[in-house]
Amino acid sequence: MTSVKDFRARIFMLRKFLQITDLHLGVGLAAGGKAGDLREREVRRRFRALVAHMGRWHADAVFCVCLGDIAHRGDAEAYAFFKREVSRLPFPCRVLLGNHDGWEAFSEAFPDSIEGGFVQAAVEDEAGVFLLLDSVARGEGELLTHIEGGFCEARLLWLREKLAKYAGRDVFVVMHHPPCSLDAWESEGFDGAGAFRALLEGQGRVRYIFCGHYHRPLSGMWGGMGLSCLHSSVSHQTILPSAGQNEEAGRYRYCDEARSYGVLWLDGERVLLHHVFYEGMEELGYAEGVIRRRENTAQGE
């Protein structure tokens, strides 16, 4: 039987990484709203609550990564707000580019996230190597973003080099766009998906692909690799309808489903992604075989 001491030792062997995504800071202002816009205030209040929650419960994380769409319209003020809030965390917060982010303000706010002209990095850890990828397809003559994802030759070359370098290590890919359709109907495209998959499957030991963009929590497989998506951590979520229902409403439908963030635990054997719903998470007490509200328990009721 596992003793309490052994159990604690095993927990501490796990390496913890946090994932947040699709904040869309500024979404309440997009339709001409003002700074005091109720929706915007809510999104920012939630982000502060999210940061406080991560700091309280997961201060032992190695790092947090935001998987893109930090800003809804790529404005500098949103990035300044983001940086100010995450500076309170006891661990670093890395960033990826999303299709709503604007290159100019993003690259000014996060110059250290750029390598070779793209928002990409290889982060080594004892649990494996994280390849943080820039999956935003660029339009001709511009660096602002398109909803579709994709890789160009330069990014595929960078990826090929990293996979070769880390061929003996467990590799975890982190990117904004999922590289494949995630639902039952025709989804948005991903330029170069075939070459990307061939590269991932042909070289190295890619164990899992973590994505944002979809605004829904999901886990599955793509080829032989694990694949997951997350809720938006503070903003709107995508409704998952039956096939055909989206055409009635244009493309996507959104809702105010509860927000969550990801807690990833790795130990060389397990890849465990927990979804944490940080709002309305009232801790319960346990006394005399009854689970009840903690304040009542504390008062001995």
Q: Is 77 helix (H, G, I), strand (E, B) or coil?
A: helix
Of positions 69, 85, 101, 170, contacts Fe ion by CB under 5 A: 69
Q: Does 101 bind Fe ion (CB under 5 A)?
A: no
Q: How far is the CB of 246 from Fe ion (least distance, A)?
A: 16
Closest CA to 193 of 138, 144, 137: 137
CB 139 within 8 A of CB 146: yes
Query: CA dist 140 to 97, 115, 118, 193, 208, Å?
Result: 18, 21, 16, 19, 31
The residue range among 8-16, 64-72, 109-117, 195-203 that interacts with Fe ion, by the rule CB under 5 A, is 64-72
Q: Which is nearer to Fe ion, 50 or 127 (CB)?
A: 50
Q: How far is the CB of 164 from Fe ion (least distance, A)?
A: 32
Q: Which is nearer to Fe ion, 156 or 240 (CB)?
A: 240
Q: How far is the CB of 22 from Fe ion (least distance, A)?
A: 4
Tracing tokens 């095993």 back to the chain, one arrives at: 10
Q: How far apart, in whole angstroms, are the C-alpha atoms of residue 173 and residue 108?
A: 25
Q: What are phi and psi of 276, to 5 degrees?
A: -110, 115
Q: Does 134 bind Fe ion (CB under 5 A)?
A: no
- Site mask, Fe ion, residues 1-30, x = CB under 5 A? ---------------------x--------
Q: Which is nearer to Fe ion, 22 or 85 (CB)?
A: 22
The residue range among 3-11, 67-75, 127-135, 241-249 that interacts with Fe ion, by the rule CB under 5 A, is 67-75
Q: How far is the CB of 217 from Fe ion (least distance, A)?
A: 14
Q: Does 85 bind Fe ion (CB under 5 A)?
A: no
Closest CA to 96 of 199, 9, 211, 191: 211
Q: How far apart, in whole angstroms, are the C-alpha atoms of residue 204 and residue 200?
A: 7
The residue range among 33-41, 65-73, 261-269, 293-301 that interacts with Fe ion, by the rule CB under 5 A, is 65-73
Element (H, E) at 56: helix 38-57
Q: Which is nearer to Fe ion, 200 or 229 (CB)?
A: 229
Q: Is 102 helix (H, G, I), strand (E, B) or coil?
A: coil
Q: How far is the CB of 139 from Fe ion (least distance, A)?
A: 18
Q: What is the DSSP letter of 122?
A: E
**Interface with Fe ion (CB under 5 A):** 22, 69
